[in-house]
Amino acid sequence: MKKLLSLAVLTALLAACAETTQPGEYGSDGFGEEALVTENLNDAYLLAAAPRYYIGNAYKVEDVQYIPTEDFSYNQTGMAGIIPTELNGTKTSNGETYNMNQMVATSKTLPLPTIAKVTNLENGEDVIVRVNNRGPFVNTRVMDLSPAAAQKIGLTNQSKIQIQVLPEQSMAVKSATIGIAAPVVKETVTPVAEEEPVAVQPEPKPAPAPVASGDYSVQVAAFYAEDSANALLARMRSYGDAVVVKEGDMYKVRIVNLDASNARRVIDALRSNEGMAPGLLKNGRWINADSI
């Protein structure tokens, strides 16, 4: 890609984007609703598992605080720039290797990896990107794109963009990354001496739990394989009314019929007990998991 940045601009970008773990550099810790176009998800790396699923802690850039969080309803506009080519081959915040020829991008707050549609509002061109790094650590931009992604939407320096998270694809890559399908455990059978049979009175069955009802659903995972969803389903029943919902080509494991307090309890339990980062829906619409 022809380099159009001046030396001064490149120097400023490198100062904000070199790979370390300090704020100010990469690698440290809208519009109305519309149909999201996803036909550009042909590259396998977009939905591939990452070394880790990374959210991170709150941090500041100058005097502005940013709080990374999982938000499948994310839809934001702002200025975008281009990741310097000199960073090609460096490690991203979630342990991937930055490849400037892939459709990848940075974000201050989105989980890594997240799949998003980015539209250049100056010409209407859009691209599907894999958000896999923190940044840009300047308050004037909301995202930086790889040179390949920038070229795809005609971004040559800085342009105003719209970022829309694709919830289905983001949930799929999250599930692949954290590998939450229940493992198969082989039981070891120890032989025991035979004894005379003893009559055992059957234990009384517990009374059925009252049917819960509520506007909230916690989505635990989404799979393309039904067997994977069913394997996780049994384990999730200990947290509530777990079901598998088929939408399109995906099988989604959800804990449904929750009120706000129980949804909060389930989210906290899944995070602490399972190491998961569940999503939250209210009346079928994605909302921030920490909004309740």
What residue spans define the domains of the chain? 37-167, 212-292
* pLDDT 10s digits, 80-120: 999 999 999 999 999 999 999 999 999 999 999 999 999 99
Better pLDDT: 75 or 197 = 75
- Asked whether residue 145 carries a pLDDT value surpassing 80, the answer given is yes
Could you give the count of Cα atoms lying within 13 Å of 27 in the half-sphere of its Cβ? 21
- Asked whether residue 38 carries a pLDDT value surpassing 80, the answer given is no
**CATH architecture of the domain formed by 212-292:** 2-Layer Sandwich (3.30)
Fold of 37-167: Barwin-like endoglucanases (2.40.40)
Give phi and psi for 247, each to the nearest 5: -130, 115
Q: Would you state the pLDDT for residue 40?
A: 55
- Asked whether residue 193 carries a pLDDT value surpassing 60, the answer given is no
Give phi and psi for 51, each to the nearest 5: -60, -30
Q: Determine how many CB atoms are found less than 10 A away from the CB of residue 284.
A: 7
Better pLDDT: 11 or 79 = 79
Identify the bridge partners of residue 247 per DSSP, sorted by sequence position: 250
Average pLDDT over residues 52-57: 92
The secondary structure of 16-79 as a DSSP string is HHSSSSSTTSTT---PPP-PPP-TTTTSGGGGSPPS--B----EEETTEEE-----TT-EEEEE
Angle at 113 between CA 17 and CA 249, to 5 degrees: 150
SS3 per residue for 116-182: EEEEECCCCCEEEEEEEEECCCCCCCCEEECHHHHHHCCCCCCEEEEEEECHHHHHHHHHHHHCCCC
> Which of 149-158, 194-203, 236-245 bottoms out in mean pLDDT, i.e. has the lowest?
194-203
